[in-house]
Amino acid sequence: MAERKATVKRETKETTISVTVNLDGTCKDEMCTGNRLFDHMLSQIARHGVFDIKVSATGDDIHHLVEDVGICLGKAFNEALGDKKGLVRTAESQVPMDEALGVVILDLGGRGYSVIHMDFEKNDLAGFPVDMVRHFLESFAAEGRMNLHASVCYGTNDHHKVEAVFKALGRALDKATRIDPRIADRVPSTKEWVE
């Protein structure tokens, strides 16, 4: 099987981003975005997805930074999937964190679309605006060419809600990116191709 790795770089007037992904990794993560909470949440994807992910990002403000990291990480995942032969493709994960429950359901079928249901008590989480969670997930899904449904079922602590969703995202991606040996030579679609 070909190596399932990709590196995506993006440089604009607003940001400079470099993302490397290895789908068959060992939980190695190196996050450097300038925002400790965002780094911590991105690390959840690597650790719970058993991926190797390296993100180096600088930007003029948190909005552009989060959006462009989402764009680059989504593109890297999509590129690393290659021709998608044998791909499990769809998966879900439910992750509790204390009183909060996060759920992510996704389909790596080639259509970028997101549905996000989550409410927060405040908009600031240690210098990270929680409305950026939605923006990150939408950008990641669009460029990753995946259907992504994410929700916080309940909870009171905003940090717990956000972390439960990022852990669930990592675990759902882990399941969906696996190769099913029964269909290793086929694309998982009745169309015989995934957009």
Alpha helix segments (H runs only) across the chain: 36-49, 62-80, 131-144, 158-176
pTM (2 d.p.)? 0.94
| pLDDT at residue 30 in the model | 98
In a domain, 195, yes or no: no
- Assigned domain for 188 exists: no
- CATH for 27: 3.30.230.40
- The whole-angstrom separation of Cα 171 and Cα 179 is 15
Domain tally, the chain: 1
Alpha-carbon distance of 106 to 53, in angstroms, equals 19
Length of the chain: 195
Note the pLDDT of residue 188: 73
Question: How high is the pLDDT of residue 40?
Answer: 97
In a domain, 193, yes or no: no
What's residue 190's pLDDT? 64
Consecutive sets of 10 residues in the chain, 195 residues long: mean pLDDT of each? 92 97 97 97 98 97 96 98 93 98 97 96 90 97 98 97 98 96 78 57
Structure tokens at 40: 């911590």
